[in-house]
Chain A
Amino acid sequence: MDNPSQYWSLAQAINTAASRADNRQIFSAMGAQRPGPRELALMLQPQARAHLEQMAARAKSLTARHFGNTVSLYAPLYLSNYCSSGCVYCGYASDRKQPRRKLPFDAVARELDALKREGFEEILLLTGERTPQADFEYVQACVRMASELFPQVQVEAFPMTVDEYRKLNLAGCVGVTLYQETYHPVVYDMMHRWGPKKDFAGRVSAPAHVLEAGMRTVGMGVLLGLSDPVVDSIALYLHAEELRKKYWRSGIAISFPRIRPQEGGFQPAHPVEDRLLAQIVFAFRIVMPDVPLVLSTREKPSFRDGMAGVGISRMSAASRTTVGGYAGAPAEDRGQFEVSDRRSVMEICDMLQAKKIEPVFKNWDAVYTG
Chain B
Amino acid sequence: MKPLVLGDLEFQSRLLLGTGKFSSSAVMLEAVKASGAQIVTVALRRFNRERPSDDLLGPLMTLKNITLMPNTSGARDAAEAVKAARLARELCGSRLIKVEIHPNPHHLLPDPIETYEAAKILAADGFIVMPYMPPDPVLAKRLEEAGCASVMPLGSTIGSGNGIAAGGLLDIIINNSNVPVIVDAGLRAPSEAAAAMEAGCAAVLVNSAIAAAGNPSAMAQAFAAAVQAGSAAYEAGLMARSTTAAATSPLTLFLG
- A contacts, CB < 8 Å to B: 64-70, 119, 121, 151, 216-217, 244, 248-252, 290-291, 349, 353, 356-365, 367-368
A363–B22 contact, CB under 8 A?
no
A363–B76 contact, CB under 8 A?
no
A358–B24 contact, CB under 8 A?
yes
Contact (A363, B104) CB under 8 Å given A69-B21, A353-B24, A368-B84: no
User: Is B211 at the interface (CB under 8 A from chain A)?
Assistant: yes
- Shortest CB distance B217–A (Å): 14
User: Is B46 at the interface (CB under 8 A from chain A)?
Assistant: yes
From A217, which residue of chain B is reached at the shortest CB distance?
B105
Contact (A358, B23) CB under 8 Å given A364-B74, A365-B84, A367-B80: yes
A363–B45 contact, CB under 8 A?
yes
B21–A151 contact, CB under 8 A?
no
User: Is B197 at the interface (CB under 8 A from chain A)?
Assistant: no
A251 to B106, CA, bound (A): 7
Q: Which residues of B contact A358 (CB under 8 A)?
A: 22-25
- Shortest CB distance B76–A (Å): 6
Q: Pull 23 A–B residue pairs with CB atoms less than 8 Å apart, ordered by A.
A: A65-B160, A67-B21, A68-B208, A69-B22, A69-B211, A70-B22, A151-B45, A216-B76, A216-B105, A248-B103, A249-B104, A251-B104, A290-B107, A356-B24, A357-B23, A358-B22, A362-B51, A363-B45, A363-B46, A365-B44, A365-B84, A367-B87, A368-B80
9 tightest A-B CB contacts, nearest first: A68-B21, A251-B105, A69-B23, A362-B48, A361-B54, A249-B103, A290-B106, A356-B23, A365-B45
A151 to B107, CA, bound (A): 23
B54–A359 contact, CB under 8 A?
yes
Describe B's contact surface by its main secondary structure. loop
Interface residues of B in 41-82 (CB under 8 A from A): 44-48, 51, 53-55, 74-76, 80
From A253, which residue of chain B is reached at the shortest CB distance?
B105
Among A66, A217, A251, A362, point to the contact of B54 (Cβ < 8 A): A362
From A357, which residue of chain B is reached at the shortest CB distance?
B23
Q: Which residues of A contact B21 (CB under 8 A)?
A: 67-70
Among A70, A349, A368, point to the contact of B45 (Cβ < 8 A): A368
Q: Which residues of B contact A248 (CB under 8 A)?
A: 103-104
From A73, which residue of chain B is reached at the shortest CB distance?
B54
